Structure 1
């Protein structure tokens, strides 16, 4: 087989693959330059404004397993908090990290929800899963974004229910200690529906 025939066959084989190879190369470049996270952030921020990502408590209220309160968390000043102290209250738990683009997308809506509810009846646990050595980064991020909701980090291990495979993940616990909602992925929590849902759980 002469050289020209080999070249033609190679072109015939790889020709249809060129768009795919170019796409894969582009994704790798975006991924390793950090640009992919930025694009994801912008895309999800735009979707948030359309209402497509509004949290719908009705869809996630079907089962209500018991919540495990037996763990301890730390606030950003290093004070230990026993989660058992929150028994009898509605709890909003959000697992997040500073490196998580979707987490950052939903943060402003969680802040607005926090501002709108009764903190004596509804407890917020914004649980950062950043590595312990990145504590200053977490503190700086919260300060820069001017978030006022309570932020914590795990102390030792978390219960199995909170060992989630992806973040952000949000749990809502009722006064009786039942998991009334679990939302995986970014969502808009600044809605009338979620405020009414939380307030109804306090009654």
Structure 2
């Protein structure tokens, strides 16, 4: 009996000590920090801490032009639902699944839009563009469809792995301001290109975040030039009954290469139009004339020694050349352009010991093919018509090109 009483007394005393200890911790955590004297590091650390506790969030974002006289900036009203997921690939939304729906009004034209990403597929609609669904999209493809206004719309700190990454000059605390109906800490980060004399030679980039003094969450953003945003939080860590599905049974899913072709096709030569005429000398002095290439399937890669994606693509082009080098009906060409040093592309090509044909420094030919992004690939059929194009580097380039060339050889 005495033993039981002793155990109960010890348990009671432990409970008191535990309660006292927890209350002491709670009191410490509730010690208020004067918002008038708070440091920049405390603001950013507390905001990052508050953001780290958020697994899912739903918010409204209203974006307007930052300057009244600025023309061509949209008014956007949208609802975002974001759910962090470390397993998904970051295609511009951080490590998160995302849904967005709203309206965009630009130059007097108002359109509904929606886009979503479930970690596997990306879906996009805007105005008359309905239900574009791309499997395993890249960041560049997502940006290509959304364009700058919608791609830059979201409140990035809510899904960034490291919120508030500074620009070149770090952050500066600029005091307390009212924003979106709340008292906010105003923190600003800037960058610019500076010459040896310390003069700014290229315009500043600016990011300003308005962080609530109450919740330490970002509720506003501005770049002082183009955009200002108001962020209104609807709910936090509330499970969404509707999953982040992007595709229904009656929709067709595009591959990355199909999406890349579609995006490129907005600016490049149209499919089944005549290829431009050109004459050029390769780096070994041989003259090539497009007229003489009729009756052959011609692969052309527009590249530059300054272009990292171009360099990544070139081993696949070499592989393509070796695959067809004994086929007199297939021609593999690389045409370099936009080189500051005329010898740079030749040096790079030779150093890598590539063996397909290289035509150096012909920006005039690139312009005829409406090339704006590098690398750009065209495949021309036996009749001299454009049968395929793509921009950017693709892991599946060799297989896609070979499949297209084979199909054209059989026509």
- State the TM-score, normalized to the length of structure 2: 0.36
Aligned residue for 1:66? Answer: 273
Residue correspondence of structure 1 range 160-175 to structure 2 within 5 A:
160-175=367-382
The 2-side partners of 1:146 and 1:159 are apart by 24
The 1-side partners of 2:387 and 2:259 are apart by 10
1:123 aligns with 2:267: no
Structure 1, unmatched stretches of 5+, are 30-53
Aligned residue for 1:177? Answer: 384
Residue correspondence of structure 1 range 62-101 to structure 2 within 5 A:
64-101=271-308
Higher relative contact order (CA 8 A, sep 6+): 1
How big is the shift at 1:133?
3.1
How big is the shift at 1:168?
0.6
The 2-side partners of 1:83 and 1:55 are apart by 30
Instruction: Tell me: CA distance 1:21–1:196, structure 2 relative to 1, closer, same or farther (3 Å).
Output: closer
Contact 1:70 1:159 in 2 (8 A): no
The 2-side partners of 1:68 and 1:94 are apart by 14
Aligned residue for 2:347? Answer: 140
Deviations 1:149-175 (A, max 9, x none): 000025572265523221011011111
Task: Name the structure where strand makes up a greater proportion of residues.
Answer: 2
Instruction: Tell me: CA distance 1:124–1:142, structure 2 relative to 1, closer, same or farther (3 Å).
Output: same
The 2-side partners of 1:159 and 1:96 are apart by 9
Instruction: Tell me: CA distance 1:64–1:132, structure 2 relative to 1, closer, same or farther (3 Å).
Output: same
Aligned residue for 2:164? Answer: 20
Q: Tell me how many residue pairs correspond in the alignment.
A: 173
Deviations 1:128-159 (A, max 9, x none): 11426332x22221222111000002557226
The 1-side partners of 2:363 and 2:257 are apart by 32
Aligned with 2:276: secondary structure? coil
The 1-side partners of 2:42 and 2:290 are apart by 61
Aligned with 2:302: secondary structure? strand
Instruction: Tell me: CA distance 1:5–1:198, structure 2 relative to 1, closer, same or farther (3 Å).
Output: closer
- RMSD over aligned CA atoms reads 3.8
Residue correspondence of structure 1 range 33-48 to structure 2 within 5 A:
none
Task: Name the structure where helix makes up a greater proportion of residues.
Answer: 1
- State the TM-score, normalized to the length of structure 1: 0.67
Deviations 1:88-131 (A, max 9, x none): 21110101111111111111111111111144101112011142
The 1-side partners of 2:363 and 2:168 are apart by 40
The 2-side partners of 1:64 and 1:57 are apart by 13
